[in-house]
Amino acid sequence: MAAGARDALDDESLQELRSQATRLLLKEDWAGYIGVCSRIVDGAATDRRVLCSALAHRADARARLGDFPGALADCDSALAADPTHPAALLAKGALLRGLGRYAPAADCFRGALSAGGGADEVRELLEQCRRLEAQARSGAVDLSDWVLAGFPGKCPDLAEHVGPVEVRRSAHGGRGVFAVKSVEAGGTLMISKAVAIGRGVIPDAADGGEKMVVWKDFVDKVLDAAEKCPRTASLIYNLSTGDEQDHELTVPDMALFKQQPEELGHSLSEAEGQDVLDVDRIMKVLDVNCLTEDAASADLLGSSGVVNCGVGLWILPSLINHSCHPNARRTHVGDHAIVHASRDIKAGEEVTFPYFDVLTPVGKRREAARAWGFECRCDRCRFEAEDTVLKQELVRSENELVNGGDMGALVVRLEDKMRKSMVERRKAFLRASFWSAYSALFDNSRLVRKWGRRVPSEAVIAESVASGVGGCESVLKAMLRGTNDGNGNGCGNRLEVEDKVVRIGRATYGKVVKRQAMRALFKFTLESDNNKSL
């Protein structure tokens, strides 16, 4: 008997163990299945065919339980015994693909094809790995076919990507993400897969009990992911708990966010011997770093309207700071967040996106910022809060917005005030702050007839707001409606108008689709009842 083998299996014993394994497989009892596979491995050391098959099956079960180091070790043991074993090659390819190691995964699938013939499914996996490897390098995403088909089936697979950004000290305190070269509006900054996401259908937005169920499910998923993968736990520990002083926050090496094959292999080998999870620290991290799925983009590009409450943890996007004058936006596709420039970003400029709805007056935004535990000091907030001449008018207008009244009169008064002595950028800020008043005006035909000639058109206002806060579904919807109604006066000729619409579309969704599919997205945007922004 070979060293390390205990009791060699006879045919009858092997058949009985295989029957047990089949029953456990049907029950999805992966721990039990691993136990049976281990007995086969121990008893089949001299039968290379049986040994390799058992190791491949055990690797698949271990991967399902999140034991990636053990799964890789099983695959390597099987391939050491038989370098051309199809099942072991397929198991390792699937494992590497799931870990984002697309090039070596493609090598495994290519080897499986050579060993086992031309299976269509394996060819498709090979082609998918090639596509994802290219996407991981370039960040280029093309969801055109999926969008044009009406979002059928599950979301397309995406590769994680870190674009031209790095983490640095922020001028506003703590850390932030900065562009290392100029990025035009719509350009991809990063693609990040969530550590975990909690989702649910909440009938009533005020239903705190339902939201707690979603939150508990989400927390359990995060803790499970951190327990299974020490690299994930290390990344989570790099995030702020909210208790540290700014100088106590270290600037992480960007290599942490890039899964290079040699680095990943090293991190996986450290799985054993880790300390018990610091659950209290992780809970504090989640309190200040979780992001909600952008409702409208998640409905259109992610969950197709099924989910209306989603919270997740995306590591690198969590390091992006808030601004009420943001230059980036995230679009959710399944479990991935694609962060793209919502307006042109200069090299060295800090990347920011909104944590809450920034199409509101400065008073409401300050309340929202306090709820997140910070004070926003962006240029827009400073302008609206510190301009003593304007402050009284803004307080009056904000009160009218809250208490109701003639939104047309409010808008006309603001426009008259802006027309006298205000540059375009500041006009964009104020129009964004009182977006709900502008929307109420343009939504009401009576108000349009009464006040419409005294204010710019809906399309012009939408273009102005987009220049101040970037694209979002509600602004894009106004631009589309304003141009479709022939109310785009001042926007230019038809081709110029179309270019402006596409530009706001790129700012809203990024460069995830080609122009024809972008028109389909515009159609879905107009039809969607959910026009909430981030």
CATH 1.25.40.10, the chain: domain bounds: 11-138
* Cα–Cα distance measured from residue 60 to residue 75, given in angstroms and rounded to the nearest whole number: 9
Cβ proximity of 230 and 274 under 8 Å:
yes
- Between the CA of residue 233 and those of 229, 250, 285, 313, 379, what are the distances in Å? 7, 16, 11, 12, 36
Tell me the pLDDT band of 533, cut-offs 50, 70 and 90. Answer: very low
- Could you tell me the two tokens for 482? 């304003």
Q: Give 465-475 pLDDT, tens digit per residue.
A: 999 898 888 89
Instruction: Taking each helix axis as running N to C, give the angle between helix 515-527 and helix 494-509, from 0 to 180 degrees, rounded to the nearest 10.
Output: 80
For the cut 50, the answer to whether the pLDDT of residue 72 exceeds it is yes
Q: Which CATH superfamily does the domain covering 11-138 fall into?
A: Tetratricopeptide repeat domain (1.25.40.10)
Core vs surface per residue 386-413: b (16+ CB within 10 A) or e: eeeebeeebeebbebbeeeebbbbbbbe
* Cα–Cα distance measured from residue 416 to residue 421, given in angstroms and rounded to the nearest whole number: 10
288: burial class by Cβ within 10 Å (0-12, 13-18, 19+)?
Answer: middle
Cβ proximity of 341 and 228 under 8 Å:
no
Q: Which amino acid is at 517?
A: A
Beta strand pairing status for 336-341 and 188-193?
A: antiparallel
351: left (phi over 0), alpha (psi -120 to 50) or beta: beta
* Cα–Cα distance measured from residue 47 to residue 41, given in angstroms and rounded to the nearest whole number: 9
Q: Give 19-54 pLDDT, tens digit per residue.
A: 998 999 899 999 999 999 999 898 877 788 899 999
Q: Determine the CATH number of domain 161-352.
A: 2.170.270.10
* Cα–Cα distance measured from residue 230 to residue 235, given in angstroms and rounded to the nearest whole number: 9
Q: Which residues pair with 292 in a beta bridge?
A: 311
- Between the CA of residue 530 and those of 243, 305, 534, what are the distances in Å? 36, 9, 12
Rg of the chain taking only CA atoms, in angstroms: 27
- The pLDDT assigned to 295 comes to 60
Q: Of 13, 9, 12, 55, which Cα lies nearest the Cα of 34?
A: 55
Q: For 148-162, what is the mean pLDDT? A: 88
Tell me the pLDDT band of 302, cut-offs 50, 70 and 90. Answer: low
Q: For 380-395, what is the mean pLDDT? A: 77
Q: Which residues pair with 291 in a beta bridge?
A: 312
Residue 330 DSSP SS3? strand
CATH 2.170.270.10, the chain: domain bounds: 161-352
For the cut 90, the answer to whether the pLDDT of residue 348 exceeds it is yes
